[in-house]
A and B are shown apart, each in its own frame.
Chain A
């Protein structure tokens, strides 16, 4: 096992990895940008290296700086977390060339799966089912119209180099296609420097099902069952769960086997996730995420596994040491995760910024809060809006839902608006409770509608709050208030008593004439 590893990330995932490192006796090294000097991931690490700069580009995305930090700190390996450099093949390659161990898949596998078109071709060749659509990306609108007619509406436009929901459009008829194509292509060009789009059939009642994979360096691979991530908005997930209500034991074995085959086809190593679209009993390969997923904790809860520990073990060259059957035998109960994002669900989910105050974390049995939150933390636009992940486990789905509702009621993140109330609304929705939903679910729920029903109590509390606030302000004249300003001015210019300079010491005060 490694003695020391560097974590090329920030926020909750850096802390998540640090925690496992501590438990394994591995020394975690943090890196940080200027603005993250006081972050929790820095404070919890064994050592920390400054990257300088405040934007991601100048810090966490600067491959040379990160590798130099690893060398300087004496780390033997680099864990990339998710986001930032985690899915950049050039970075994986540079890490290995620098004589360090890359805690992730081989660079070639990242490259193959990172290009949606090459990935699709490779998967088709390996016998993995894919969504009907174009194999090649296209640039011009006329061809898009012709090809879309052939594939059949509704269709989805997707940026060739896309990710994170950017450059994606759904088009329901030919009339809307040219406009949608131009804006999506423009967005992709701006975001990724590649305006090529690819077109595919848009499936009805689709559910987003993904399979967790783990491969060692000796050709052994297993899957850890599925996660259901259909509760998403603009392709950003809000609630995830494991297992899924639509996957029975037989289907789990089948999609697991397909996922392992997909990983094996690219010579996969370490942890990865194969995403599928599920539509009426059929599954289609969507893409593979060649890293640890944000929602990996739900799998950990159900299978009793620490996936980060497994990542470190296999990266260090250890064998998996267990069979597929042994993994599936560990499956137990139900787990759910809610992402707590700094966004305002009452204002169309616009990003919310501010300073975290008034923080109350949930607790109790089978409740896990993966976060790097602290009072005084500044939430800016520089980084991902995800503040925390709230994860619960229960013996069955109903128990997990009730536990999540209970934990969300306990949670309070003040200083910014968060998506948490929206998640509560989903958890109370009858269709969600029945398991009857698809990826369009969130667009059918009015998340902005006020709920709660304690309006009188709130009105009374708010009035008292203001009353007490006003009283405090009247007692304490802060430096910035108008009252203090005029008080100072009055003191300086009034004729009686005569203005005297403020005494510097209490003893000096005694000698002044009264």
Chain B
């Protein structure tokens, strides 16, 4: 089984073979002498790599995983071959546009754009308040505001769609 794993922004290819109940792993073609034992069902893992020992904490779903080793946090994204192809096709179709999602739960204080507006990369789209702090949410890239999914004073959860951007006019 081949996985494409992005750790803190850097992509890696992980090959995983299960042989007689043992999992063999190689990362970017390099075979690791790894022993992975789950401690509980909550995400504590006892990891040995060639005799070196690591207390690993790991949690998440099939696609987004958070891993913690010795106090350091690693943000991980995983795709298998089929998902990788699907995501690439999706990116190609939206051509730089896309959906801006809320990275935190909060309340929309003010909308700074309306549908049809042309926005530049980094331009503030709306103001989101959480924990009494106001945060401006910027456009991830240039585009045209295709639709607004929220209204002012609306409460949003983490991961909620805020704004959909379409490809910028040529």
Q: Which residues of A contact B (CB under 8 A)?
A: 164, 166, 187, 191, 234, 344-348, 350-353, 357-358, 360, 375, 381, 385, 405, 408-412, 414-415, 417, 420-421, 424, 450-452, 454-470
Contact = CB atoms under 8 A, between A and B. Distances in A.
Interface stretch (B70-78, B112-120, B145-153): B70-78
A358 B73 CA distance: 14
Nearest to A234: B133
A470 B36 contact: no
B94 interface: no
B57 A467 contact: no
A467 B23 contact: yes
Given A381-B106, A459-B12, A463-B5, A357 B59 contact: yes
Interface in B1-58: 1, 3, 5, 7-10, 12, 14, 16, 18, 23, 25, 27-28, 30, 32, 34, 36, 38, 42-45, 47, 49, 54-58
Contacts of A459: 5, 7, 12, 14, 27, 76
Given A347-B103, A459-B76, A462-B65, 13 more contacts: A166-B132, A351-B104, A357-B42, A357-B59, A454-B74, A457-B47, A457-B69, A461-B67, A464-B16, A464-B23, A464-B25, A467-B16, A469-B62
B5 A417 contact: no
B131 interface: yes
Contacts of B130: 350-351, 381
A501 to B, nearest CB: 33
A413 to B, nearest CB: 9
A463 B105 contact: no
B106 A452 contact: no
B32 A358 contact: no
Given A350-B130, A351-B131, A466-B78, A458 B62 contact: no
Given A409-B71, A414-B42, A455 B78 contact: no
* Leading 10 A-B pairs by shortest Cβ distance: A450-B8, A452-B72, A358-B43, A463-B14, A350-B104, A409-B71, A409-B70, A459-B5, A408-B71, A459-B12
B57 to A, nearest CB: 4
A357 B135 CA distance: 28
A417 B67 CA distance: 11
Contacts of B73: 345-346, 417, 421, 452
Nearest to A457: B49
B3 A466 contact: yes
Contacts of A408: 71
A462 B23 CA distance: 13
A465 B38 CA distance: 9
Contact of A417 (B32, B34, B66, B135): B66
A352 B104 contact: yes
Contact of B65 (A187, A385, A450, A466): A466
Contacts of B78: 462-463, 466
B32 A456 contact: yes
